C-alpha cells in the first residue's frame, strides 16, 4: 500500500501543476491590467483553477474517443513549463488556443 502511495506522489497530475502555474501567471496579468478574477469571469483564483481542472478532464475524455491518449498530459507539461519560464509574459497565456483539442493544438 505504501508503495502505491509513493508511486502516486512521485507522478502528480501534470494538469494540476499546469493549472496552478496558469493561475499564477494569469493572476499577475490581471493585476497588471488593473483587473481582477471577477472581470475575467471567475469568482476568484480557486474558481479559475477549478475551471482549468475541468478543461483537463474534458480534454482527457475527448482524447479517449479520438484515440489520442496522453495528449492532454503532454500539453499540460508543455504549458506548465511555458507558464513558469523566466521569460513568460501575459502573451504566453493569452495567445494559447484553449478551445482546440490538445492533440491538434500543438500546445
pLDDT, position 57: 96
DSSP class of 42: -
pLDDT, position 49: 98
Closest CA to 25 of 90, 98, 94: 90
Predicted TM-score (pTM) of this structure: 0.86
Closest CA to 82 of 66, 96, 63: 96
pLDDT tens-digit readout, 82-102: 999 999 999 999 999 999 998
∠ CA 80-81-86 to the nearest 5 degrees?
120
pLDDT tens-digit readout, 24-81: 999 999 999 999 999 999 999 999 999 999 999 999 999 999 998 999 999 999 999 9
Amino acid at each position: 500500500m505504501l508503495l502505491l502511495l509513493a508511486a502516486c506522489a512521485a507522478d502528480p497530475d501534470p494538469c494540476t501543476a499546469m493549472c496552478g502555474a496558469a493561475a499564477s501567471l494569469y493572476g499577475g496579468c490581471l493585476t497588471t491590467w488593473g483587473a481582477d478574477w471577477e472581470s475575467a469571469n471567475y469568482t476568484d483564483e480557486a474558481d479559475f483553477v477549478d475551471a482549468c481542472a475541468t478543461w483537463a478532464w474534458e480534454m482527457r475524455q475527448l482524447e479517449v474517443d479520438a484515440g489520442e491518449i496522453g495528449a492532454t498530459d503532454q500539453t499540460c507539461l508543455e504549458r506548465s513549463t511555458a507558464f513558469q519560464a523566466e521569460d513568460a509574459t501575459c502573451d504566453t497565456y493569452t495567445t494559447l488556443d484553449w478551445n482546440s483539442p490538445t492533440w491538434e493544438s500543438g500546445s
